[in-house]
Amino acid sequence: MTQRTQRRIGVLALQGDVREHLATLSALGTEAVPVRRPAELGTIDGLVLPGGESTTIAKLARTFELLDPLRDAIRGGLPAFGTCAGMILLADRILDGVSGQETIGGLDLTVRRNAFGRQIDSFEADLSVSGVEGPVHAVFIRAPWVEEVGPGVEVLARAGEHPVAVRQGRLMATSFHPEVGPEAGRGRLHRLFLDLIAAQ
């Protein structure tokens, strides 16, 4: 990782809530940059995988010859934070995925795609998140949930009985969208990710 006073955080900019994440990260004082090419992975201190459509993001990453470099970077220790579709992309195993759906992997967990239902079933809820003071207003949009976690995965939050925020080593993921709604302006989940980077 490069050493600089200001953290340089990339947002995978193929599809999804890219601008929203860039805005939240910039407000926290980081140098937030879009990432579209393999060479850019070597210039950042951490990477956010945004909410969007997980199958589309994976296909575009394959098309842009970015999928394998992403896997190599994550395997090599690049800190990453996935939200909604980003959680699916970081998961080692998927349930209810489309045929041939690929992930980047890294998180030892099984996620169920669209587990909370379709777009019409989107909802908001206040959650208790480990490491965050006070309730987090979480926005769930066609969200996954975690069916099973490996022994090295820490569950940070649950919605009912299902884990919806997790952390494992340098990786973190949420089923919900902290980059939209009132939480976007507070940036507490993004700050938790920045703290994770600083602790490594």
| Residue for token pair 């195993």 | 93
- List residues bridging with 136 in a β-sheet: 127
Q: Which of 20, 179, 183, 190 is catalytic?
A: 179
Smallest CA-to-CA distance from 58 within 20, 113, 115 is with 113
Tell me the longest C-alpha to C-alpha distance in the chain.
45
Q: What is the three-class DSSP state of 11?
A: strand
The reply to whether 137 belongs to the active site is no
Distance CA 125, CA 81 (A): 21
In degrees and rounded to multiples of 5, residue 163 shows phi and psi of -65, 135
Residues 164, 176 contacting (CB under 8 angstroms): yes
Please report, as a single letter, which amino acid is at residue 117.
G
In the set 20, 21, 162, 177, the catalytic residue is: 177
Active site residue 162: no
Which entry of 84, 162, 183, 190 is annotated as an active-site residue?
A: 84
Instruction: Write out the catalytic residue numbers.
Output: 84, 177, 179
